[in-house]
Amino acid sequence: MKVLVSDIGGTNARFAMAELGRGAVLLHDSVREYPAAGFASAADAARHFLDELGERADAAVFAVAGRVRLEEASITNHPWQIRTSEIGAALDTSRVALINDFTAQAMAISRLRADDVVAIGAVGWPGFDPRGAQTFAVIGPGTGLGVGGLLVRDGRCFPLETEGGHAGFAPSRPQDLRILECLMRRFGRVSCERLVSGPGLVNLYASVCEVEGVAAESLSPAQINTRAASGDGHCQQAVELFCAAFGSMAGDLVLTLGAWDGVFLAGGVVPKLLDSLQTCGFREAFEAKGRFSAGMAEVPSLAVVHACAGLLGAAAHAAETYDHCVVPVFAHLAPQPVADSLGG
């Protein structure tokens, strides 16, 4: 059975083919990435993908950056409305599954190898063990902020679908309060996503400039990151605030889910900020949980550097849904170029 798998965010849409029952489930030469703005709908993008490859799909799994309800979903940061009926009509199949993108990221945890992750801080990951009871969290900035979890019980994986990125931001330092005041004047209620995302980094930079009483330049997330690395003080403050807020949110998620086996940092922003995450206060904020600080110090925080973890998780979901089998490790996918933007 050939399955189209997709990972659709607010900026880009990724597609690949999976062939269930084969040793290499994801076909390494089939991965494509398109700007979502280039298509009227997800169905159009999927049809274009299949036409480009000269393929057909017996089934499809769409992992989307938005809440899924009654076989429909809206992309939170893009105008697409996605319905399984429309996808099925475009692909000529009735077997279409629509899942949250962080359901896919959670499912991918069971397929990640040691070299697919980088530990942030001194605590490493002992690896995935399906034989035991494990609880993981997953959080990732991109165009928005995705949040999910994975429960492993009796050899089965149960992903948790959430919209935790829209929970309210909780400041924990005096500088956080000043930034929060700036963001409240602009947005009213301030969610975590307003800080920890590609656009969130821009919000932080603008807020830093407002606090300092200087005019903010019109900079992209990638430009802010580049300038921070070159020594620009305002951009450095924005990146430090981003990493500390990210660490604090990831730690809160561990406490909320009881994810003592680890939190995975996913999404397109993470690989581009690896050095900053190691040095700019992420782990300090992650562990700073009062009476639970000692326990938090033992929890791994792991940056996912796998080229296409969302597609990997969508394939894992496809295997459980359509093939009732375990998806083999995604070992042969060559990394594909991605957009040079922290908002991907």
**Helix, strand, coil % in the chain, rounded to nearest 5:** 45, 20, 35
Cα 240 to Cα 117: distance, rounded to the nearest angstrom: 22
Is 213 marked as binding a ligand?
Answer: no
Residue owning tokens 């274009």: 48
Strand, coil or helix: 91: helix
Is 7 marked as binding a ligand?
Answer: yes
In the numeric block, which tokens belong to residue 95? 């077997």
Is 87 marked as binding a ligand?
Answer: no
Cα 142 to Cα 196: distance, rounded to the nearest angstrom: 8
Cα 175 to Cα 336: distance, rounded to the nearest angstrom: 39
Pick from 68, 58, 37, 48: which is nearest to 344 by CA?
Answer: 37
User: What one-character-per-residue DSSP string does 70-85 give?
Assistant: TTEEE-TTS--EEEHH
Is 10 marked as binding a ligand?
Answer: yes
Cα 249 to Cα 243: distance, rounded to the nearest angstrom: 10
Is 226 marked as binding a ligand?
Answer: no
User: What one-character-per-residue DSSP string does 168-212 give?
Assistant: BP---SHHHHHHHHHHHHHHSS-BGGGTSSHHHHHHHHHHHHHHH
Is 6 marked as binding a ligand?
Answer: yes
Long-range residue pairs from 333-340, CB within 8 A, at least 24 positions apart, any chain = 333/26, 333/28, 333/31, 333/307, 333/308, 334/28, 334/29, 334/307, 335/307, 336/31, 336/32, 336/33, 336/307, 336/308, 337/33, 338/12, 338/33, 338/268, 339/11, 339/12, 339/33, 339/35, 339/268, 340/222
Cβ atoms of residues 196 and 246 within 8 Å: yes
Q: List binding-site positions.
A: 6-11
Q: List binding-site positions for ATP.
A: 6-11
